[in-house]
Amino acid sequence: MSKVPESIRKELAALAAKPESDIDFSDLPATTKQDWQGAVRGKFYRPVKQQLTVRIDADVVGWLKEEGKGYQSRMNDILRAAMLDKVRHR
């Protein structure tokens, strides 16, 4: 949150500290299970990418490139799946 101005950070912190009982939901209709059918979590989330240099074995890079364009995204997907698996098993 370093790029977020201090005034916004303070406002967000104040809202986060506010008890739910103090929030006015009168203009927000209640939802049902049917409203959420087909909903997908994280559909528009795009994590920040970081450029870096790594050394990957040639056979591994060859394997990733066999399926065509997008080998870096496939590598990221494989690493993300491994990371999430490890996080789930903690």
pLDDT in tens, 23-73: 888 898 889 999 999 998 888 888 899 999 999 999 999 999 999 999 999
Residue 60 within a domain? yes
pTM of the model: 0.52
The pLDDT confidence band at residue 86, using thresholds 50, 70 and 90, is very high
Residue 68 within a domain? yes
Residue 19: per-residue pLDDT: 92
Residue 62 within a domain? yes
Question: Would you give the DSSP letter of residue 20?
Answer: G
Helix (H) or strand (E) holding 5: none
Residue 45: per-residue pLDDT: 85
Amino acid, res. 25: F
C-alpha span between 74 and 60 (Å, rounded): 12
pLDDT at residue 89 above 50? Answer: yes
Residue 1 within a domain? no
Residue 26 within a domain? no
Residue 29 within a domain? no
CA 56 to chain centre: 25
Residue 71 in contact with residue 65, Cβ under 8 Å? yes
Residue 40 within a domain? no
Amino acid, res. 4: V
pLDDT at residue 1 above 80? Answer: no
1 contacts: CB under 8 Å, gap ≥ 6: 9
Quote the domain boundaries for residue 77: 48-90
Residue 25: per-residue pLDDT: 85
Residue 17 within a domain? no
Q: How many domains does the chain have?
A: 1
